[in-house]
Amino acid sequence: MPRYLITSALPYISDAKHLGNLVGSMLPADVYARFLRLRGEDVLYICATDEHGTPAELAALNAGLEVSEYCRKQHAVLKGLCEGFFLAFDHFGRSSSPQNHELTKHFADMLERNGLIEERTTQQMFSVAENRFLPDRYVVGTCPHCGYTGARGDQCENCTNLLEPGDLIEPRSSVSGSTELEMRETKHLFLRQSLMTDRLRAWIEQHEDWPVLVRSIALKWLDEGIKDRSITRDLKWGIPVDRPGFENKVFYVWFDAPIEYIGATKEWSDAHPAGRDWKSWWVDPADVRYVQFMAKDNIPFHTVTFPATIMGSGEPWKLVDFVKGFNWLNYYGGKFSTSGKRGVFMADALELLPADYWRYQLMANAPEGADATFTWEIFADTVNKDLADTFGNFVNRVVKLVAMHFEAKVPAYGEATTEENDLLEGLREHGGALTASLESLQFRKAVQSLKAMWASGNIYLDRTAPWKSIKADRDAAGHVLAVSINLIRVFATASLPFIPDTGARVLRALRIGPGSSRWLPGDFSSELRLATAGSPVDDPGVLFKKVLPEDVAAWSARFAGSERR
């Protein structure tokens, strides 16, 4: 039986995380991890904050804090938000951890030893006023092609021409506005990944099962020719480079961030060294299936750069087996905007409604095949129709009927009816499809099957109409309700990967702890007789309240942001 290693792209430390960030990596990884755990699989789900780089330094400066202190605080904030969304990481680490420092240096050493590191001198824009080298995009000025005055040093977003910072007319720092800029020479280490082109191509091409999005981006990079890549930066905050002449340099954040997948696993292991062995997950494990989750902007780094680091080490580190890439979630057809406060952020969301509302809606509309759109109208429809009317109401009507006519206890079972055969067929079909979709990481399809399962309960109830039969044949009505109580258990179990809080709450009401629940069987025939006749059934209360038209109006206005679309 394989063990499953799951990682989601590391959220960057300085940005507020919006719903698109959540649904693009951490949430689907959590749904997958929960599904596998319910099936009894051995799962390790690892995530961490990505803490290095220029934006973190600038954000700390802005907040008037030391970078280390800023990151410590932000990490705690993000960790709290993740917990609020029930993201059940085995460990949520930090790329600034000692473990990652050690591993990053180790990889650099191995690459050096294998002749894959080269010192090169480059020209970089330096801001005298700020005493800092500026990454290309932090230099702005007038585009030499179209005259646009807000062009960035890497690309003009007006005419889309690619630029070098030196091309800009009247360049200035986008951080301070200072025009006191000059090109300075600086030495950097380059990873000679061009030498690994053939190995990378062979490796990528063997993974024919990867999503089109992932393969096409990876192969595009190879087709254009892999370029050697600088893996150091002129910054103070980061992992120092132990090398003469590199005293004021650190490793590039994109070099050390993916290594933190391993680093975080070691953090996890170091916390309880007796029972945990990080190397068994990462060093030449024969039985580990490694699945990564990320949004599409991360794909080149996970399919080219990081594998180049791993391969180049010459050591048997685990390479990814499956890359699940996501497109963007848009907000009313435009982008979520961190700076413009446009769209819904994780903290906002939890303030409005419990996490399960968001988890379900986001997974139901996940940007899997193409970019997807979040609107409050769609949100309200999905929550109201699926969660409140279909699932919530099914639970409610069964619980109310049992309370009213059977003293809130599971009634006695009778003979199976023809309606029950149809029900079983539906459970087999939709349950099987749900399992298959989750196995193959097709989340939208999975939600459709979950919803179809829930609906089959309402169909069964309507066809058997226990509120009617109770008058003439109490036993027949009792049987239907006993079966329905088992259905609630099946539905709640199936919902656990998506809405773990509500699912567990329903199981508690049925006096079945989440710990004793397991995933769906292939055959449900014995499943509908599991609840013991006479055992109590609590009312879990209203599972999901509806999103009202006035909520939609208020929230649309509140989150429209400062930017015009």
233 binds RNA (CB under 7 A): yes
Distances (CA, A) of 318 to 307, 315, 512: 9, 9, 39
Beta bridge partners of 181: 127
Q: What share of the chain is helix, strand, coil (3-state, %, to 5)?
A: 50, 15, 35
Residue ranges in 402-461 that form contacts with RNA under rule CB under 7 A:
404, 444, 448, 455, 458-459, 461
Among 19, 372, 480, 496, binds RNA (CB under 7 A): 372
Q: With beta carbons less than 8 A apart as the criterion, state whether 363 and 19 touch.
A: no
User: Which parts of 336-365 interact with RNA (CB under 7 A)?
Assistant: 365
Indicate the residue among 288 and 476 with the shorter CB distance to RNA: 476
Which of 119, 297, 407, 425 touches RNA by CB under 7 A? 297
Q: Which of 262, 291, 310, 401 binds RNA (CB under 7 A)?
A: 401
Encoded tokens for 274: 């007796």
Taking CB under 7 A as the criterion, the residue among 76, 128, 283, 465 binding RNA is 465
Among the listed residues 417, 424, 418, 331, the one whose alpha carbon sits nearest the alpha carbon of residue 371: 331
Select 197 or 280, whichever has its Cβ closest to RNA: 197
Q: Which residues of 429-468 are buried (b: 16+ CB within 10 A; e: fewer)?
A: ebbebbbebbeebbbebbbbbbbbbbbbbbebbeebebbe
User: Alpha carbon of 295 to those of 16, 94, 164, 417: distances in Å?
Assistant: 16, 20, 27, 48
Among positions 281, 290, 328, 559, the unique one binding RNA when judged by CB under 7 A: 328
As a whole number of angstroms, the distance between CA 295 and CA 304 comes to 15
> Out of 65, 378, 408, 533, which residue is the one contacting RNA (CB under 7 A)?
378
Say if residues 342 and 336 touch (Cβ distance below 8 Å): yes
> What part of residues 184-223 is at the interface with RNA (CB under 7 A)?
190, 212-213, 216-217, 220-221
127 lies in the binding site for RNA (CB under 7 A): no
Characterise 60 by phi-psi region: left (phi > 0), alpha (psi -120 to 50), beta (else).
alpha
544 forms part of the interface with RNA (CB under 7 A): yes
Nearer to RNA, 108 or 217 (CB): 217
Pick the stretch among 74-82, 174-182, 263-271, 366-374 that binds RNA (CB under 7 A).
Answer: 366-374
133 sits near RNA (criterion: CB under 7 A): no
User: In this chain, which of 113, 118, 129, 137 binds RNA, going by CB under 7 A?
Assistant: 137
According to the binding rule CB under 7 A, does residue 499 interact with RNA? no
Part of the chain binding RNA (CB under 7 A), chosen from 86-94, 176-184, 297-305, 527-535: 297-305
Q: Give me the least distance between CB of 160 and RNA, in Å please.
A: 5
AA identity, residue 555: W
Least distance (Å) between residue 284 CB and RNA: 27
- Per rule CB under 7 A, count of chain residues that contact RNA: 80
- Which residue, 390 or 435, is less far from RNA as judged by CB? 390
E strand or H helix at 291: strand 288-295
The reply to whether 373 sits near RNA by the rule CB under 7 A is yes
Q: Which stretch binds RNA (CB under 7 A): 24-32, 327-335, 408-416, 556-564?
A: 327-335
Asked if residue 296 binds RNA (CB under 7 A), the reply is: yes
Whole-angstrom Cα distance, residue 386 to residue 405?
A: 27
Q: DSSP states of 164-211 as a string?
A: -GGGSEEEEETTT----EEEEEEEEEEE-GGGGHHHHHHHHHT-TTS-
